[in-house]
Amino acid sequence: MLTITHLLVALSAVTGSLATPVAKSTGDDSPDFDFSTNSITRRQDYNQNYKTSGNVNFSPSSNGYSVTFSGAGDFVVGKGWRTGTTRNINFSGSTSATSGTVLVSVYGWTKNPLIEYYVQEYTSNGAGSAQGQKVGTVTCDGSVYDIWKHQQVNQPSIVGTSTFWQYISNRQDKRPGSGTVTTKCHFDAWKALGLNLGTHDYQTLSTEGWGNAGGNSKYTVSSS
């Protein structure tokens, strides 16, 4: 079983290293007005799609994604925005894990400082990518989250091989289905603990798996 986050390298099962997932950006992040609900949302314009080995069938849509997987060595797929912020991220769907480690997270990066972050909503093994040093807890969206930090040394990142910190909120009351992630709640808690973010890069809701992972996910994603 891996004790370190995923993301992504075929060697992660051995070295604990990770790599930047391939992501595709389309459209824009301009507001859309939904006349049926009298509400404004923002378009998801970022498809995250990375795998190293195994069977991973990823199908993005205009407002979410689905994925089935088996025998997966390492993958991450998802839907989101090319620029992160303190948006409230709404997700609706389900995840079923039959083998390996599988997690569903709000996931993103910042620059200056270079930070990789997770808000883990569901982890099939209870920990997911949570590792390193536990530095506190925070209550957000109806659950306590354990807050972790972990340093990656000379590992792949969105700016190439680098040394950077991971910030991780791991939800104690796991929810593989529907909910809202109030990212500001986590960002403020991290800041209070001295875990400062930089300028936001992309931000997604993602399904991730490694260690011969099997299962499926399907979600719609929006923001408010």
Which residues are annotated as catalytic?
116, 208
- What DSSP string runs through 137-152? EEEETTEEEEEEEEEE
CA dihedral over 134, 161, 20, 187, signed as positive or negative: positive
User: Rounded CA gap, 210 and 99, in Å?
Assistant: 9
The radius of gyration computed from the CA coordinates of the chain, to the nearest angstrom, equals 16
User: Rounded CA gap, 145 and 170, in Å?
Assistant: 5
Which residue, chain included where needed, has tokens 């930089």? 198
Cα 70 to Cα 7, 189, 215, 216: the distances in Å are 17, 36, 6, 9
- What DSSP string runs through 140-188? ETTEEEEEEEEEEEEE--BTBSEEEEEEEEEESS--SS-EEEEHHHHHH
Q: Which of these, 205, 198, 189, lies nearest to 148 by C-alpha position?
A: 189
